[in-house]
Amino acid sequence: MSTCTTVSRDLDEPMPGTAATATTWLLLEQPGPWGAKALTSSHLDPALGRALEAAAQGTGVRVALIRRPGPHADFGTAAVRQVYAAHTVPGGVWLRGATTDDPGRLLDVDFAALGRGDHRSFDTALDARAHTGDPLALVCTNGKRDRCCALLGRPLAAELSAGGVDGVWEVTHLGGHRFSPTVLVLPYGYAYGRAQAHSVEEVLNGAREGRVVVDGCRGNSAWERPGQAAELAVRRAIGEYAAEALSVVRTRGEAPRWEVTVAHVDGRHWGVVVTQGASLPPRPESCGAAVLGAPARLDVVAVRERRPAVLVG
């Protein structure tokens, strides 16, 4: 059976620069079935879902629903739900956790502050604490968005969970379903595509040690997509895998060409040229697409270290 995922893999569509963008992720446990737009088409109160969408608009916060791997027959709403918030911008990375029996308390959170990396209102509203367990692996499994997410994502989440990997959750939407199974790893915010259980375990082992695995990586959600591609290119060029070593400090230009400045914590800088083109030949961008498309692809065409000016006097 041909799917958008098999076509993307067969055509070797590049993945860097395709991650969802969010400086902060806000995750709410919601058992049971999810619709295509899960915040308003699950057993979460749709009025609350709409209010959360509105509160997050323009703040850098992305709200998603999570659930434990396994069967999803509806046995009623969970009395106590897990909630996480994670800020992914290097130099200010954190992951906070809480439980609540009233998800409406999320509306007491200052979403603008949360997007900037200030978790105080989240802590106050939900009595949250720093997460001290293993990194989180969020596997997209929402088949109502695209069947590949269910066909490929759910078995991956189940395999990881059955193998004793802690921190595994199913999540509603990470984008890029043609790269299924897709996985987001928190707290650092790096997304992966075409994932397999052994590769996810390698990524999680790295995250525990503060390292990034670049193979199969789509990018860091903290950056816009040209920055995602540029940062990964610098990592490969210099062999730098420390999770918070690099930051995207400037992006100039617009499609189809950007000049991105990537900075190292040690003071070094690189100029990276990123171009946008179309992925050809045309292919289904999702399994439900009625027409063929040519999804945008980002290519890094130059990586140059910028040497500091030497003053002569």
Residue 312 has pLDDT above 70, yes or no: no
The DSSP-derived string for 245-277 is SEEEEEEEEETTEEEEEEEETTS-EEEEEEEEE
Cβ atoms within 10 Å of 153's Cβ, excluding its own: 26
pLDDT value for 5: 72
Angstrom CA distances, 59 to 53, 110, 172, 199, stand at: 11, 10, 20, 32
Residue 166 has pLDDT above 70, yes or no: yes
Which residue in 209, 187, 191 sits closest to 200, CA to CA? 191
Three-state SS at 2: coil
> Which stretch of 3-7, 173-177, 228-232, 264-268 has the lowest confidence by average pLDDT?
3-7
Query: pLDDT tens digits for 52-95?
Result: 999 999 999 999 999 999 876 566 656 899 999 999 999 999 99
> Which stretch of 11-15, 103-107, 125-129 has the lowest confidence by average pLDDT?
11-15
Q: What is the mean pLDDT of residues 247-268?
A: 98
Residue 174 has pLDDT above 80, yes or no: yes
pLDDT value for 149: 72
Give 148 or 274, the one with higher predicted confidence.
274
Angstrom CA distances, 15 to 31, 296, 301, stand at: 30, 11, 15
Q: Quick one: pLDDT band at residue 262, thresholds 50, 70, 90?
A: very high
Q: What is the mean pLDDT of residues 218-222?
A: 98
Q: Which amino acid is at 159?
A: E
Q: What is the mean pLDDT of residues 254-283?
A: 95
Which residue in 42, 107, 24, 31 sits closest to 72, CA to CA? 31
Strands 183-186 and 168-171: unpaired
pLDDT value for 90: 98
Q: Quick one: pLDDT band at residue 145, thresholds 50, 70, 90?
A: low
Size of the chain, expressed as the number of residues it contains: 313
pLDDT value for 144: 60
Residue 196 DSSP class: -
Residue 149 DSSP class: I
pLDDT value for 142: 74
Query: pLDDT tens digits for 285-296?
Result: 777 666 787 888
Give 80 or 3, the one with higher predicted confidence.
80
pLDDT value for 313: 55
Residue 112 has pLDDT above 60, yes or no: yes
pLDDT value for 179: 85
Counting residues of the chain whose pLDDT is more than 70, the rounded percentage is 92
Residue 250 has pLDDT above 70, yes or no: yes
pLDDT value for 307: 81
Residue 178 has pLDDT above 90, yes or no: no
pLDDT value for 133: 94
Residue 309 has pLDDT above 60, yes or no: no
pLDDT value for 49: 97
**Averaged pLDDT of the chain:** 91
How far apart CA 249 and CA 305 sit, in angstroms, is 14
